Amino acid sequence: MEAAPLYEDIAGGPSGGVAHWLTTSDNLRIRVGFWGHAAAKGTVLIFPGRTEFVEKYGRTAQALQDRGYASLAIDWRGQGIADRMTPNRAIGHVGHFNDYQKDLAAVLAYARERDLPKPYFMIGHSMGGCIGLRSLIEGLDVKAIMFSAPMWGVQMAPPLRPVAWGLSTVSRPLGFDQTLVPGQFEESYVFRTGFAENTLTCDPDMFAIFQEQLRAHPDLGLGGPSLRWLNASLVEMQKLSKLHTPACPCLTFLGTDEAIVDPQAIRNRMRQWPNGVLRVIKGGRHEMLMDSPARRAMIFDETAALFDAQLT
């Protein structure tokens, strides 16, 4: 188990955090960051969204530690400082969406080997919510889950949807599946968008932190997705929509100003969730875990209450 960098200068996480490199079953190197303490009630597995990285969840780890929980965050393949999947490291790419489950298998083996505090819980944001739903359906052993704007569908103008399916599908046999999705950019979103126009957060201080993190460590940056990533994600979301809903206690947050994932897909799933609650946050954007202090406190208080209820 080899130590990996943890950029504490940008993380804003609890003291004493550690990071390690892990090797997946298909021989890729990914990274995990762990923040823990001796009296932790359990460990929260943090599944980040596309383009994200361990340090972006340092403040989430601090909020969870303040409420008694350890945290384990992941650099999925193709992002953060995990192995990138194309020669152009600015393009987000994956071979098959189920490959992310190989990353998760390595993370769970790490948790067992280090005997991280049990029980386990999960927070899944955006793409991490899609990966997390698949893992739950396949038997991930966690006591409860919080989803933040989970990617169970993506927003897309109706005329573009058949184009997206068609172009991304033919890109694979024709050999241009590693190219950027048309209309996407290699530059990180937070550098090509001003705060006033951004779809991520309502808090200017958090938006500035997003920019500062990537200025300090440009190797963490990631641009738009490849056509193959798009196709793999569309196929996965379609498959998941036809599968059963797990019974694990679940709390999902959705903002009324969500502009990236599909709110209707979230509503449809949560209506079926036997132990699930959908919390719609007025004025919330895509990254409510990284918003105003008051909004973040409310979200983490409710999340910790759900997790605490499973401890008795």
List the structure tokens of 21.
């490199």
Judge if the upstream peptide bond of residue 119 is cis by omega within 30 degrees of 0.
yes
70, 117 Cβ separation under 8 angstroms: yes
Task: Render each residue's pLDDT in the chain as its tens digit; 312 residues.
Answer: 799 999 999 999 999 999 999 999 999 999 999 999 889 999 999 999 999 999 999 999 999 999 999 999 999 999 999 999 999 999 999 999 999 999 999 999 999 999 999 999 999 999 999 999 999 999 999 999 999 999 999 999 999 999 999 999 999 999 999 999 999 999 999 999 999 999 999 999 999 999 999 999 999 999 999 999 999 999 999 999 999 999 999 999 999 999 999 999 999 999 999 999 999 999 999 999 999 999 999 999 999 999 999 997
Sheet with 29-35: strands ordered across: 2-3, 18-23, 29-35, 70-75, 43-47, 120-125, 145-148, 250-255, 276-281
Q: What is the CATH number of the domain that holds 229?
A: 3.40.50.1820
Split into its structural domains, the chain has a count of 1
Task: State whether the Cα torsion 26-31-35-37 is positive or negative.
Answer: positive
256: exposed, middle or buried (Cβ count in 10 Å: 0-12, 13-18, 19+): exposed
Q: What is the span of the domain harbouring residue 297?
A: 2-309
- Between CA 102 and CA 172 the distance in angstroms is 22
